[in-house]
């Protein structure tokens, strides 16, 4: 554990993991998220600028929530983020359906490859074992 400055308010806090933001700012962000979510539910076709103005929140923050799939929009909503792979506009997440499909296909073919590399893995040398023994 280390003590760092919060990236939002500059307050010192005990940093454990995740975003470098103090618990107070985290709570404030969470409250803001609920506010934004409620606003979007009530105004399904609002624009990004409208949400930012009405809820007093940065566009970057809204995009982060969209990427994390915490916010979902109707297909015909003007609020979109771009696919990180091909740049197509999508309503939530990081990649469009097409890229998601391609990625899962590629991932599958990697898994089904014969595991040559495992067989070629060098065996631990006898000297290593000797060294280990010494520490035991």
Q: How far is the CB of 44 from Zn ion (least distance, A)?
A: 24
* C-beta closer to Zn ion: residue 18 or 124: 18
User: Where on the chain is the footprint of Zn ion (CB under 5 A)?
Assistant: 6, 8-9, 11, 22, 25, 83, 85-86, 88, 96, 99
Residues 80, 48: Cα–Cα separation, whole Å:
9
Residues 23, 12: Cα–Cα separation, whole Å:
11
* C-beta closer to Zn ion: residue 72 or 85: 85
Q: How far is the CB of 9 from Zn ion (least distance, A)?
A: 3
Q: Are residues 71 and 62 in contact, defined by beta-carbon separation less than 8 angstroms?
A: yes
Instruction: Calculate ∠ Cα 120-125-128, nearest 5°.
Output: 135
Q: How far is the CB of 31 from Zn ion (least distance, A)?
A: 13
């Amino acid at each position: 554990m280390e003590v760092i400055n919060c990236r939002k308010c500059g307050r010192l806090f005990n940093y454990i993991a995740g975003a470098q933001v103090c618990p107070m700012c985290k709570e404030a962000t969470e409250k803001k998220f609920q506010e934004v979510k409620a606003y979007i539910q009530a105004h399904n076709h609002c624009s990004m600028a409208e949400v930012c103005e009405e809820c007093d929140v940065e566009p970057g923050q809204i995009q982060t929530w969209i990427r994390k799939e915490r916010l979902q929009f109707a297909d015909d909503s003007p609020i979109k983020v771009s696919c990180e792979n091909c740049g197509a506009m999508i309503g939530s997440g990081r990649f469009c359906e097409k890229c998601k499909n391609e990625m899962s296909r590629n991932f599958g073919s990697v898994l089904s490859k014969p595991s040559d590399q495992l067989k070629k893995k060098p065996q631990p040398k006898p000297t290593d074992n000797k060294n280990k023994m010494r520490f035991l």
